[in-house]
Amino acid sequence: MPAPLSPPPPALLVIDDEVQIRRLLRVSLEAAGYRVREAETGRLGLQEAATEPPDGIILDLGLPDLDGQEVLRRLREWTRVPVLVLSVREREEDKIAALDAGADDYLTKPFGGRELLARVRAVLRRAQPADEPAVVRVGDLEIDLAARTVRRAGSEVRLTAKEYGLLRLLVLHRGKVVTHRQLLRELWGPHAGDQTHYLRVHMAHLRQKLEAAPHAPRHLRTEAGIGYRLVTEADTGS
- The full length of the chain comes to 238
Delimit the CATH 1.10.10.10 region(s) of the chain: 135-236
Mean pLDDT over residues 140-145, rounded? 92
Delimit the CATH 3.40.50.2300 region(s) of the chain: 11-125
Spelled out in words, what is the top-level CATH class assigned to the domain 11-125? alpha beta
> Who's near 88: CB < 8 A, 6+ residues apart?
62, 108, 109
Q: What is the pLDDT of residue 2?
A: 47
Least confident of 47-51, 69-73, 128-132, 138-142: 128-132
pLDDT of 13 > 70? The answer is yes
The full 3-state SS of 184-231, as one line of letters, equals HHHHHCCCCCCCHHHHHHHHHHHHHHHCCCCCCCCCEEEECCCEEEEC
Q: What is the pLDDT of residue 234?
A: 55
This prediction has a pTM of 0.66
- For residue 16, name the pLDDT band (cuts at 50, 70, 90): very high
Mean pLDDT over residues 206-220, rounded? 94
- For residue 188, name the pLDDT band (cuts at 50, 70, 90): confident
Least confident of 81-85, 92-96, 165-169, 199-203: 92-96
pLDDT of 61 > 80? The answer is yes
Q: What is the pLDDT of residue 186?
A: 81
Q: What is the pLDDT of residue 237?
A: 46
Percent of the chain's residues with pLDDT above 90: 53
The full 3-state SS of the chain, as one line of letters, equals CCCCCCCCCCEEEEECCCHHHHHHHHHHHHHCCCEEEEECCHHHHHHHHHHCCCCEEEEECCCCCCCHHHHHHHHCCCCCCCEEEEECCCCHHHHHHHHHHCCCEEEECCCCHHHHHHHHHHHHHCCCCCCCCCEEEECCEEEECCCCEEEECCEECCCCHHHHHHHHHHHHCCCCEEEHHHHHHHHHCCCCCCCHHHHHHHHHHHHHHHCCCCCCCCCEEEECCCEEEECCHHHHCC
Q: What is the pLDDT of residue 146?
A: 83
Nearest to 90 by CA among 67, 61, 116, 69: 61
Q: What is the pLDDT of residue 132?
A: 61
CA 25 – CA 216 distance, rounded (Å): 54
What value does the mean pLDDT of the chain take? 87
Mean pLDDT over residues 136-163, rounded? 91
Mean pLDDT over residues 137-150, rounded? 90
Q: Looking at the domain 135-236, which fold is it?
A: Arc Repressor Mutant, subunit A (1.10.10)
Q: What is the pLDDT of residue 27?
A: 95
Q: What is the pLDDT of residues 71-87, one digit of tens each?
A: 998 898 888 899 999 98
Q: What is the pLDDT of residues 24-41, one digit of tens each?
A: 999 999 999 999 999 999
pLDDT of 55 > 60? The answer is yes
